[in-house]
Amino acid sequence: MLEVGTLGWNVVGLVVLVLAAVGAGSVALAGFGLDSLIEIGASTVVLWELSGVGEERRHRALRLIGIAFVLLAVYLAVQSAAVLITGHHPRPSPLGIYWTAATAVVMFGLAAGKRRTGQQLSNPVLITEGRVTTVDGLLAVAVLVGLALNDLLGWWWADPVSALVIVYYAAREVREIFTSS
C-alpha cells in the first residue's frame, strides 16, 4: 500500500514538476522531476521484488535502486555545474514552492511507514526504498529552500546549489547499497 501511495504521488508530481521546471527554467525543479521519475522506477522495483522470493531477486532489486541513485547524482551534478557556469537565472516558481513543500511532508511520512514495514517484514529492499523516499523528502526541502531564496532574495544561484545538496545524499546511499548488498 505504501508503494502505491508513493507511486501515485510521484506520477502526479512528475507532471506538476515538468510544468514548474519549464515555467521557471529551474535546474532544481528539473532534477526533482527526474528524482520523481527515479522514485517511480524504485517503487516499481520494490513491488516486483515483493512479488517474488529469492536472494538473487533481492540483490538485483537493490542494485537497480543503487543505479537509479547514481543516475540522479550524475544528472544533478552536471546540470547544476552547467547552470552555475553559464549564470542562468531561474524565474520564481510559486507552483514549485507549493509542490515541494507538500512533497516534503508526504515523503517523510511515507518513508517512516516504509521503514517500519520493512523492519517488521525483515525486508532490506523495502527498508532501502524507505531511504530512497527519505532522500526524496530531503531533496524536496533542499529544492524548496533554493526556490524560496531565489524568489524572496533574488539569489539565482541558490537553485542549482540546492540541487547539488542532494548529490551528497545520493552518493551516500549508493555507497550504502553497494557495500551492503
pTM for the model stands at 0.77
At residue 155, the pLDDT reads 96
Range of the domain at 129: 2-180
- Number of Cβ within a 10 Å radius of residue 132: 28
If we measure between CA atoms, which residue out of 92, 74, 105 comes closest to residue 155? 92
What confidence score (pLDDT) does residue 181 get?
A: 63
Q: What pLDDT does 96 receive?
A: 94
C-alpha cell at 146: 533554493
The span from the CA of 159 to the CA of 93, in Å, is 11
Distance, CA of 122 to CA of 124 (rounded, Å): 6
If one counts the domains in the chain, the total is 1
CATH code of 18's domain: 1.20.1510
Q: Residue ranges of the chain with pLDDT lower than 70? A: 1-7, 49-50, 52-54, 181
Half-sphere exposure of 79 toward its Cβ, with a 13 Å CA cutoff?
23
Give the burial class of 2: count Cβ atoms within 10 A of its Cβ; 0-12 exposed, 13-18 middle, 19 or more buried. buried
